[in-house]
Amino acid sequence: MTEVITLGETMAALRGTGPMRLGGDMRLSVAGAESNVAIGLSRLGHATRWVGRVGADQPGELVTRTLRAEGVDVTSVVVDPDAPTGLILFEPRVADVVRVNYYRSGSAGSRLNPGDLVPALTSGARLLHVTGITCALGPEPLAAVRRAVDHARASGWTVSLDVNFRSRLWTADEATEVLAPLAERADVVIASDDELPLVAAGAGDTVDAAQRLLGAGVSEVVVKLGADGAHLHHRGGTERVAAVRVPVVDTVGAGDAFSAGYLSARLDGLDAPERLHRAVLLGAFAVASAGDWEGLPTRSELPLLDLAPGSTVR
């Protein structure tokens, strides 16, 4: 039985090794915030389904093949004969600063519509995870997110929203207009501290924003603080956790890893401190390895970062 459904756009991803205008090699993979979460959850043993559209092209095959290989259920993926799979280029410009170029306007992924979700939604789940990125792709993907949230709430599933604000896709005001009402319909809202006020219009700061969301009926507001760890605001109070310190290799995808860790622990029935711990632990795995999702742990690998730096596991 599927535990988690998530939906969004996953693109073919090319990652360079330095300034892109100089040319050089790029590594081909796939990237998409929701599928990163799906992979993270799947590696931890949660039955996870990703719904999205890909083009009838080789990048589309790469997306579905990669997710399938990661154990993510792709049986509801729609192959769109009339639009290409999107593309994202990552340019690690200097250590810890990555520039992103999108080639996703008119892509298959941006043509996701509510009808695409019917088979997945009717087959059931325990948790629906959505992000602000899908909402920013256009009216049809936004309608798909709203349909999924309506269905999940009516079915008694947990709804999780990662704000994931992307300024290349929409303005802060546009995001607030769409995401503030959506956040109030979620059980779990996950955001970085600079994103959280976007979904609680009029909030003065992060704590105020969290309190407003709790007052509106959200049960858990999880705030990602990067190297400073994370906070969880819930009706029982506020929990805090420090980050797990690791050498930084690539920060892209760390937020999605964090979400996967938090949601996995929640599905496992762990308490608030343990949920936060697994969230920052998965974030640490993501930043300590190259790629959006490649370094995420399996369940048996979760204790790996407890080993002393420089350890060799024989």
Residues involved in catalysis? 256
Strands (E), 136-229: 158-162, 188-192, 220-224
The footprint of ligand KDG (CB under 6 A) covers: 31-33, 36, 88, 133, 166, 252-253, 255-256, 292
Strand 48-51 relative to strand 220-224, pairing: unpaired
- Closer CB to ligand KDG, residue 198 or residue 203? 198
Minimum CB separation from ligand KDG for residue 33, in Å? Answer: 4
Q: Which residue is nearest to ligand KDG (CB)?
A: 31
- Closer CB to ligand KDG, residue 116 or residue 256? 256
Query: Hey, what amino acid is at 206?
Result: T
- Closer CB to ligand KDG, residue 170 or residue 212? 170
Query: Measured between alpha carbons, how far is 313 from 53 in angstroms, rounded to an integer?
Result: 40
Query: Measured between alpha carbons, how far is 245 from 106 in angstroms, rounded to an integer?
Result: 40
Q: Are 125 and 2 within 8 A, CB to CB?
A: yes
Query: Hey, what amino acid is at 311?
Result: S
- Closer CB to ligand KDG, residue 36 or residue 158? 36
Order of all β-strands in the sheet with 188-192: 48-51, 4-7, 127-131, 158-162, 188-192, 220-224, 230-234, 237-241
